[in-house]
């Protein structure tokens, strides 16, 4: 394949990917960065990485898996970079289970409050657990999550099994308090 | 709210998806390449400056041992620039590496960072050898005049920097081991 044909295919693939998975990518990015301005920069970084990476796409996996992997890998790198600069501490799933309702509540509309609480939980997690939770919220099955993360399906199933009550307890605590 | 409702709520978020034209992405990619080249050039210029300064000293200084030391520092600087060029190009990953499964990607990234930290001795070792000979030359002809105070100004920071690099590399290795354990436990 000539270079120009390759570039055309890369451009076409990128446009297709951005159209089909743009919303998911934006949600993943929100899971990795809360600050609006920084989130826009990160989103741009993900799109740039996606476009560049698609030069090497030869159908090794589905386009969706490819897009999700790039989005999460760039997101995780961003988190690692920010943690190095501000020494922020992430928690793993076990610690998150212990600190389910420690954060102050803000009175917002019900659904927004639910989202805020979930987002707070997501942002407190380590990158791998965060990726799992984001993929779980996108309603992916264990096999798809396994293809994106590289974890075995059994490991994914175990972790997802622990995510479910964590989310439920977050939201039930809000219901009780309201 | 049950699981399914929460997922629907999550997926119904209205977020800016961003619209990036291909021209903009090409411009961004070019800007990123320029930034990388600038960083690399900075390292090369530093190496060249050290080589020039110590080359000048090697030319003008009277004590042979000091001149040998300066010559070794010059050679060390060239070696530093060679390592920078070689390791820099090794560290470059193809863009499609970003589409590896997270565990593989993350492990490779940690290993790259660890190796870069461990390679610190390769970067500064030869220059340090030249500096040692240079300082030894300063103590001639009477070794009792060895300038320990001046030497400690070179040696202590270097030892601290090398130790910090190795400590950071050790911490990264622990993270890599944790990732490996995660995969091993999944395979059992």
ipTM of the modeled complex: 0.76
According to the model, what pLDDT value does residue A103 have?
A: 46
CB A112 within 8 A of CB A99: no
Query: If 0-12 CB within 10 Å is exposed, 13-18 middle and 19+ buried, where does residue B86 land?
Result: exposed
The alpha carbon torsion through B91, B95, B98, B100 (nearest 10 deg) reads -90
| pLDDT value at A36 more than 50 | yes
Q: What is the pLDDT of residue A4?
A: 63
Which pLDDT tens digit goes with each residue over A138-147? 989 989 999 9
**More confident position, A96 or B3:** B3
Name the residue among B13, B25, B187 with its Cβ closest to that of A27: B13
Most B CBs within 10 A among A17, A27, A51, hence the mutation to make, goes to A51
Handedness of CA A24, A26, A27, A28 (dihedral sign): positive
Nearest residue to B126 via CA among B73, B177, B167: B73
Q: Structure pTM?
A: 0.73
**B143: which DSSP letter?**
G
* Residues in chain B within 8 Å Cβ distance of A12: none
> What confidence tens digit (pLDDT) does each residue in B27-57 have?
777 777 777 777 778 878 888 998 999 899 8
pLDDT in tens, A162-171: 887 877 776 6
pLDDT of residue A100: 47
The terminus-to-terminus CA distance of chain A in angstroms comes to 62
Cβ <8 Å between A66 and B99: yes
> Which of B9, B94, B186 has the CB atom closest to A151's CB atom?
B186
Tell which phi-psi region holds residue A139, choosing left (phi > 0), alpha (psi between -120 and 50) or beta: left
CA distance B21 to chain A (A): 9
**pLDDT, position A70:** 94
- Say which residue, B28 or A100, is predicted with more confidence: B28
Beta-carbon pairs below 8 A across chains A and B? 137
Q: Which residue of B has its CA nearest to A51?
A: B25
Q: How far off is chain A from B113, nearest CA to CA, in Å?
A: 12
Search chain A and give the residue with CA nearest B23. Answer: A11
Where is B64: in which H helix or E strand? helix B64-91
pLDDT of amino acid B125? 78
| B16–A128 CB contact, under 8 Å | no
Q: Which H helix or E strand runs over B164? A: helix B148-187
Q: Quick one: pLDDT at residue A105?
A: 45
Give the pLDDT of residue A108.
Answer: 47
Is the pLDDT assigned to residue A65 strictly greater than 90?
A: yes
**Which residues lie across from B64 on neighbouring strands?**
none
Cross-chain CB nearest to B186 (options A15, A52, A155): A155
The three-point CA angle A171-A174-B1 to 5° equals 40
pLDDT of A98 over the 80 cut: no
With a pLDDT cut of 70, the percent of chain A lying above it is 74
Q: Residue A91 phi/psi, 5° resolution?
A: -115, 155
**Residue ranges, chain B, pLDDT below 50:** 188
Structure confidence at residue A102 (pLDDT): 46
Q: Is the pLDDT of residue A26 over 50?
A: yes
pLDDT for the residue numbered A43: 92
Distance in Å, alpha carbon of B164 to nearest chain A alpha carbon: 15
Q: Cα–Cα distance between A170 and A164 in angstroms, integer?
A: 10
End-to-end CA distance of chain B: 36
What is the residue-averaged pLDDT of chain A?
Answer: 80
């Amino acid at each position: 394949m000539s270079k120009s044909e390759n570039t055309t295919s890369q451009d076409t693939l990128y446009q297709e990917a951005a159209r089909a998975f743009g919303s998911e990518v934006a949600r993943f990015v929100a899971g990795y960065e809360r600050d609006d301005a920084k989130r826009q920069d990160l989103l741009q970084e993900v799109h740039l990485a996606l476009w560049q990476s698609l030069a090497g796409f030869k159908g090794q996996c589905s386009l969706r898996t490819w897009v999700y992997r790039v989005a999460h890998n760039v997101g995780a790198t961003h988190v690692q970079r920010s943690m190095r600069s501000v020494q922020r501490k992430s928690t793993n799933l076990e610690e998150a289970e212990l600190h389910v309702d420690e954060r102050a509540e803000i009175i917002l509309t019900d659904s927004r409050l639910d989202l805020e609480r979930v987002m707070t939980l997501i942002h407190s997690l380590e990158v791998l657990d965060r990726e799992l939770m984001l993929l779980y919220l996108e309603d992916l099955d264990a096999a798809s999550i396994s293809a994106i993360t590289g974890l075995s399906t059994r490991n994914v199933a175990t972790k997802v099994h622990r995510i479910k009550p964590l989310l439920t307890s977050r939201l039930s605590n809000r219901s009780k308090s309201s | 709210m049950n699981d399914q409702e929460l997922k629907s709520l999550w997926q119904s978020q209205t977020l800016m998806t961003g619209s990036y034209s291909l021209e903009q992405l090409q411009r961004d990619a070019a800007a990123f390449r320029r930034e990388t080249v600038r960083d690399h050039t900075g390292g090369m210029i530093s190496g060249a400056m050290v080589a020039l300064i110590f080359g000048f000293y090697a030319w003008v200084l009277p004590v042979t041992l000091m001149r040998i030391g300066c010559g070794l520092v010059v050679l060390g600087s060239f070696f530093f620039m060679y390592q920078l060029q070689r390791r820099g190009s090794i560290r470059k990953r193809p863009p499609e590496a970003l589409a590896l499964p997270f565990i593989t990607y993350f492990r490779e990234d940690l290993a790259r960072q660890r190796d870069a930290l461990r390679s610190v001795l390769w970067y500064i070792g030869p220059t340090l050898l030249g500096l040692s000979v240079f300082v030894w030359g300063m103590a001639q002809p009477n070794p009792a005049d060895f300038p320990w105070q001046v030497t400690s100004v070179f040696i202590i920071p270097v030892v601290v920097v090398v130790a910090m690099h190795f400590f950071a590399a050790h911490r990264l290795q622990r993270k890599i081991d944790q990732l490996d354990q995660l995969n091993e436990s999944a395979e059992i």
